[in-house]
Amino acid sequence: MKPATVDLHIRNARALFNHALRDDLILFNPFDRLGSSQPVEWDWHHVGAEEFARLLGAAGAMSWRLLLALARWAALCRGEALNVRWHNIDCDRNLLTVISSDDWEMKDKDPRIVPICPELHGLLLDAFEQAPPVICTSFRRRALEHFRVEFAYSIEASL
């Protein structure tokens, strides 16, 4: 198991034993003596506006560009971006409604409204001419198992 998973199990066990301790079922909590592991050092890379513009240009296909733009400029998760439909976009008010559909359910189930920035608005207008009912439609036709690999290859090939 990874250290973060072990820490999670220790925290859960500590909470459980603390309840037993408060109810006088045990004399002490053995998990109080266990510390947590060292925090994981993430190797994050900030993608600035200039680098994102290059990435967007290298993406090539409109569906990839839309997926990247929805993730960056509208802060949508992959599942949300893949399930945005044109009727969820209010271009007059520059708002995007993220809502569950018949074949996809949001994680938190509550719809939310996201503002559309000018960059995303321009890209959506360009894409509207193709106008499939689902914005990132080409991804829905194939399994998403190789999603990251396919993306990495397409970006690597076009840079």
- pTM passes above 0.95: no
pLDDT recorded at residue 157: 63
For residues 53-80, average pLDDT = 87
The token duo for 89 is 């976009």
Q: Set out the domains of the chain in order of their start, with CATH numbers.
A: 3-33 (no CATH), 49-158 (1.10.443.10)
E strand or H helix that includes residue 100: none
Asked if residues 98 and 80 have their Cβ atoms less than 8 Å apart, the reply is: yes
Strand duo 112-115 + 89-90: pairing: unpaired
Confidence class for position 141, pLDDT limits 50, 70, 90: very low
Residue of 63 and 141 predicted with greater confidence = 63
Higher pLDDT, 103 or 121: 121
pLDDT tier for residue 61 given thresholds of 50, 70 and 90:
confident
> pLDDT over 70 for what percent of the chain?
83
Distance, CA of 51 to CA of 107 (rounded, Å) = 30
